[in-house]
Chain A
Amino acid sequence: MPPLLAVRNVAKRYGAVQALIDASLEVDAGETLALIGANGSGKSTLSKVINGVVAPERGQLLLGGRSVHFDSPHAAKDAGISTVFQELSLVPQMTVAENIWLTREPLRRSGMIDRRTERRRTEDLLSLFAGTLRADLTPDTPVAALLPDERQIVEILKAISVNPRLLILDEATASLDSRQVQRLFELIGQWKAQGTAIIFISHRMAEIEQIADRYSVLRNGQTVGAGSMKEATANDLVTLMAPETAGGAVERRRLSSDILATRRIVLQIDDLRTSVLRGVSMQVREGELLGIGGLKGQGQRDLLLAIFGGTPWSGRITLDGKPVHFTHPRQAMNHGVALVPGDRAGEGLLSIRSILENLLVPSWRNYGFPLQMQRARRDASAIAARLDLKMAGLDAPVSSLSGGNAQKVVIGKWLLRNPRILLLDDPTKGVDIATKAEFYRLLTRLCEEGTTVILYSSDDEELIGLSDRVIVMHDGRISSELAGASLTTANLVAASLGVASGDAP
């Protein structure tokens, strides 16, 4: 019997970039296939070929053994292929129900939309994630009012609402917290039992090991390996994905509390309050890497923004012993504070402008009038070299870079200003393992040079591996602080969920 879907030798080129050279995969009904590969390896393009967003130049799609051509996402959906998109496909101005049922609204005989049925079906879908969503999230909530994880869940519900034969999850877990991920995995188990095939795309190896039955690895647009997950270790897969940088995350040597105690306190925060924060106090020392953990949306982002002067706050912030009250990011920048935003496309980069310009945006004032372009170019290339930026040249647009390299530009533009305090807002979300490892080395070096780093991450292993200390936030407060021996994944997860540390199963 032929597999539910077979992709054979697909190629696709975008302008000068050959996104796919020779990609193949097979997936059967009732199984989960992990499609893995480093950033820029062509995973997203391949999933777009399968769901009809992109037409391949060469190669074949066989659905149940029959050759098919999808000229639109609609055609693929009619054939039973549904996708949870990485770039969200929801209309912000419309409600949850309107978004989920868009183009498939239940109709009355008169041709009018049956809103009662639509509402009921939406409630049924939302109940799948009951307990992991806000209680006041109803079918009538506008999507614009949702948090990123809630949007992602609506996106998943929208994809599953068509009862697909094949469900593609493209980085669908990236913005979910651990409870939501576990719920999703339970649901995937149910859908598999009903005969749905699933293609799972993720950067989180732990999730892949937990959920996938088989894997298929892409490297530079080519399928370089496939097999059963039972017969492969995480290291095997990493070697397939990026043979030159096997090894994964670097473990940073933690500073002991004795050494830390001798360091100068750089930043002291007392009773910080914003619309989200409800009294946060903490201190950070020179060269320390402080991690911020916890479930999504517990005020982590607001804490970073408040320090950076990006959101109004009350309380007391002391920088190098002097009280400060930044009301604009520029003031924070002038005091050596830098924030690397999580939404790199939206907040961190001018994507159509050159790498040079992006790197220099915060620093132009140091280059006089008229701008001393030679010196600027020299400084920019020094930073690019330090970050090992893979690029066509400083004048290439940032949009030509892969995700990981674009992220380096976001950090690089702040390094040019030699920040003393670097605030990072989930910097490795959606970044491949090789780039992550490089990024970890960079952070380690910065700390050694005396930079204080405050890192918020949704990746627990990253927090454990990198931080000297982790504060866990819950509902706008610091619920616990982990350091030394108590800094373990189990404790972090327990603290995030509000379970007292040590009592975790």
Chain B
Amino acid sequence: MKQSRWQQATYRHPYLFALLLLAVAFTVNALLQPNLLEPTTLNSNMRVFLPLILVAVGQAIVMIGGGIDISVGSIVSVTNAILATQIGLSGDLSTAGVIMGVALLAGMGAGALNGLCVAYLRLQPIITTFATSFIYSGLALFILPNPGGGVPSRLTAFYRETIILWLPLAFYVIALILLIWAAIRRTRYGRYLYAVGGKADAAYETGVPVRAVQFSTYVISGFMAALGGIAMTLLTGSGNAQVGDPLTLSSITAAVIGGTPLSGGAGGVAGPMIGAIILGLIRNIISFANVATWWQTFVNAAIIVLALATPGIINLVRRRNR
């Protein structure tokens, strides 16, 4: 029952560990790439990190609510396929806006299907979203069987080059999300989210609309994945129906590093954002170190296993030492 000081600190600030890791990753990266903080380098990094940051935020909200969403990567792919085929390299901006809206709706629809199965049909989140991920990636391949299509260069230029007051576009997106999250945290919905993820039975007995809250987390996650898909498309400027695949594992890793436990009911959104940045920095480090890219996947998986095992290892060590 007694909590250590570290446990208390991480309860109040779940992203403490992530900040520590960020400092390390940043230092190593800066040693390899001394111009890391120059505006252009910062921008070229952040615009690459942003899609994962967005997806990780959605993933974190599902995880706080006690679930998990294995289909986010496929939703990113669907979004990419829709944008690349429907806007096209020579599309005009107003169509682009409409199509992006459609893509966001599609993401929310995919999330709603997940939410329906998990919250109302009471299926296992991990199995359900794993299964639906195949539906969505199939859909992406149906829309865009071969890599191709794309979006006009004016759009990609806007995404890639926008720097306001020395800070790249990604910073403003992050700030906006943090502001919205801070507001949500102070509403009843915010409280319900943590209650449902912490102990759904207790929340139900207290009168929290448990299913509606669970459902909503998947819709939010679908929306954020679609947003991530839009960012990804604007970043690459092209279509590829498998572009989102690696984001699923990465988003879970980012959320876990960011202090959102797989057991739910704790964590936040700032941590997972930092987690996503850490993963991006690690990828930089790996590419600078000139090793094969599959190391990235290995590192992702290793981090998850380590994050899960750390509390157990700490306990074992403590027992030994007494």
Contact = CB atoms under 8 A, between A and B. Distances in A.
A111 B187 contact: yes
Given A112-B183, A145-B3, A94 B198 contact: yes
A90 B202 contact: yes
A197 B198 CA distance: 32
Given A111-B187, A113-B186, A74 B194 contact: no
A77 B319 CA distance: 46
A72 B319 contact: no
A105 interface: yes
A312 B208 contact: no
A90 B199 CA distance: 8
A53 interface: yes
A227 to B, nearest CB: 32
Nearest to A77: B207
A105 B205 contact: no
B235 to A, nearest CB: 35
B205 A92 contact: no
A158 B205 CA distance: 12
Contact of A91 (B188, B190, B207, B265): B265
B203 interface: yes
- Secondary structure at chain B's binding surface: helix, strand, loop or mixed? helix
Contact of A103 (B2, B188, B194, B266): B188
A74 B1 contact: no
A194 interface: no
Interface in A21-79: 53, 72-74, 77
A88 B198 CA distance: 13
Contacts of A72: 207
Interface residues of B, number: 29
B63 to A, nearest CB: 13
A91 B1 contact: no
A73 B2 CA distance: 32
Nearest to A72: B207
B186 A112 contact: yes
A107 B197 CA distance: 22
A105 B198 CA distance: 18
A122 B188 CA distance: 17
Contact of B198 (A91, A103, A113): A91
A107 B186 CA distance: 9
A115 B3 CA distance: 25
Contacts, number: 80
Contacts of B186: 112-113, 115
Contact of B191 (A111, A113, A313): A113
Interface residues on A, range: 20 to 34
Contacts of A92: 198-199, 265
Interface in B168-226: 183, 186-188, 190-192, 194-195, 197-199, 201-208
A39 B174 CA distance: 56
A73 B198 contact: no
B64 to A, nearest CB: 10
B207 A73 contact: yes
A248 interface: no
Nearest to B261: A93
A98 interface: yes
A297 B155 CA distance: 65
Nearest to A87: B201
B134 interface: no
Contact of A102 (B183, B201, B206): B206
B195 A91 contact: yes
B78 to A, nearest CB: 34
B262 to A, nearest CB: 13
B322 A73 contact: no
A146 interface: yes
Given A89-B202, A312-B319, A98 B207 contact: no
Contacts of B206: 73, 89, 102-103, 158
Q: Which 9 A-B pairs have the closest CB atoms?
A: A312-B322, A74-B207, A91-B198, A93-B198, A93-B265, A89-B202, A112-B186, A89-B205, A91-B199
Interface of A: 53, 72-74, 77, 85, 87-94, 98, 102-103, 105, 107, 111-113, 115, 142, 144-147, 158, 275, 312-313, 327
Given A91-B195, A98-B191, A103-B192, 17 more contacts: A73-B206, A73-B207, A74-B207, A89-B201, A91-B194, A91-B198, A91-B203, A94-B194, A94-B195, A102-B208, A103-B206, A103-B207, A105-B188, A105-B191, A111-B187, A113-B188, A275-B2
11 contacts: A73-B204, A91-B194, A91-B199, A91-B203, A93-B266, A105-B188, A113-B187, A113-B190, A113-B191, A145-B1, A146-B1
